[in-house]
């Protein structure tokens, strides 16, 4: 990641517009703060692509678009990279952020960035209308930068998925794991599924009831997973509940969209989470400075 970051910083100097691909279900958690740091240092405008919008809650996505559009030098779009009509709108939106270029002698230089498994490679292939980047439902498919000519007025650079060294908020890590942006060896399925269950119980209980034929009222995360296991008849040898199998079913149903259109965070919930985290740090007792004793 350190090498990728250094290379990204070098390429940023030769870039006109950064296209940051986010997961529309968790736009805040899937936004790498290092990307914002790099582009602001170079004063580069950013087109934020909220990909997988077909899996996200449309009302929440609209709120995120308003939030991002209010930022200086930022334009946001909600798309599904699997829809050609959505992808076709991206070049014009990107060019509008660099009006001083967009000429045959000065093509707009785009740099596509984002964390692993948000759909960057799918976007690249859709923009170029040919398969040049490997895709797959696993993080870290793209390993190195590659440059392509989009048209006579535009070229783009694809970059590897870039994660930051330390995820500041625990809930961000859990949302990223639930959405498969983090490798499976980095988390415990049952823990992530329990977090996801808690989130869905608070935001989308009706979707849970419809999918699993259960009554979510009064359940917490582990109890919901137990209820799923009971409804599906998931048992291990000895008749005990197969909690892991039910947890994996919940994760897969969320990731595939089988549960319905779901957003794990809104601008309001993210601000509340950050504020609460700040208060928790402020409330921690401070240690006396030994030099003052």
Distance CA 72, CA 45 (A): 8
Give the pLDDT of residue 146: 82
Q: pLDDT tens digits for 256-282?
A: 999 999 999 999 999 999 999 886 655
Which three-class secondary structure state does DSSP give residue 91? helix
Q: Which residues contact 93 (CB under 8 A, 6 or more apart)?
A: 47, 75, 77
156, β-bridge pairs: 110, 148
Q: Under CATH, which number does the domain 170-282 receive?
A: 1.10.1580.10
pLDDT value at residue 289: 37
User: 213-245 pLDDT, tens per residue?
Assistant: 999 999 999 999 999 999 999 998 888 999 999
167/33 Cα distance (integer angstroms): 10
Statement: residue 90 has pLDDT above 90: yes
Lowest mean pLDDT among 55-69, 72-86, 139-153: 139-153
Residue ranges of domains in the chain: 2-158, 170-282
Domains 2-158 and 170-282 are alike in CATH topology: no
- Evaluate if residue 133 carries a pLDDT over 80: no
- Mean pLDDT across the chain: 89
Helices 243-256, 221-232: crossing angle, 10 deg rounding: 100
Q: In the structure, what pLDDT confidence band is assigned to residue 1 with cuts at 50, 70 and 90?
A: low
Integer-rounded Cα Rg, in Å, for the chain is: 21
Q: Is 154 helix (H, G, I), strand (E, B) or coil?
A: strand
Contacts 24+ apart (CB under 8 A), 138-142: 138/180, 138/183, 139/180, 139/181, 139/182, 139/183, 140/116, 140/183, 141/116, 141/117
- The pLDDT tens digits of the residues spanning 168-208 come to 999 999 999 999 998 888 899 999 999 999 999 999 999 99
Closest CA to 201 of 184, 218, 182, 213: 218
Q: Determine whether domain 2-158 maps to CATH 3.30.70.20.
A: no
CB neighbour list of residue 153: distance below 8 Å, 6 or more residues apart:
95, 102, 103, 104, 107, 108
């Amino acid at each position: 990641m350190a090498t990728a970051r250094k290379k990204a910083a070098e390429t940023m100097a030769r870039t006109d517009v950064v296209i940051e691909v986010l997961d529309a279900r968790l736009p805040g958690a899937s936004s790498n703060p290092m990307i914002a740091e790099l582009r602001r240092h170079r004063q580069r405008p950013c087109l934020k692509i909220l990909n997988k919008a077909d899996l996200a809650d449309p009302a929440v996505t609209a709120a995120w678009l308003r939030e991002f559009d209010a930022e200086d030098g930022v334009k946001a779009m909600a798309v599904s990279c699997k829809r050609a009509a959505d992808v076709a709108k991206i070049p014009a939106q990107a060019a509008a952020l660099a009006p001083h270029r967009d000429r045959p002698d000065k093509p707009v230089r785009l740099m596509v960035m984002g964390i692993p498994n948000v759909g960057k490679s799918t976007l690249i292939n859709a923009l170029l209308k040919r398969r040049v980047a490997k895709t797959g439902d696993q993080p870290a498919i793209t390993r190195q930068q590659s440059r392509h000519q989009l048209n006579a007025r535009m070229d783009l650079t694809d970059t590897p998925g870039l994660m930051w060294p330390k995820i500041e908020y625990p809930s961000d890590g859990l949302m990223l794991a639930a959405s498969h942006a983090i490798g499976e060896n980095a988390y415990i399925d049952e823990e992530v599924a329990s977090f996801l269950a808690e989130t869905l119980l608070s935001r989308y209980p009706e979707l849970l009831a419809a999918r699993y034929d259960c009554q979510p009222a009064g359940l917490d995360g582990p109890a919901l997973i137990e209820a799923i296991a009971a409804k599906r008849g998931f048992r291990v040898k000895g008749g005990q509940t197969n909690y892991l199998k039910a947890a994996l079913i919940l994760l897969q149903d969320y990731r595939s969209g089988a549960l319905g259109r779901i957003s794990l965070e809104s601008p309001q919930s993210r601000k509340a989470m950050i504020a609460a985290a700040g208060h928790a740090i402020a409330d921690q007792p401070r240690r006396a400075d030994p030099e003052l004793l």
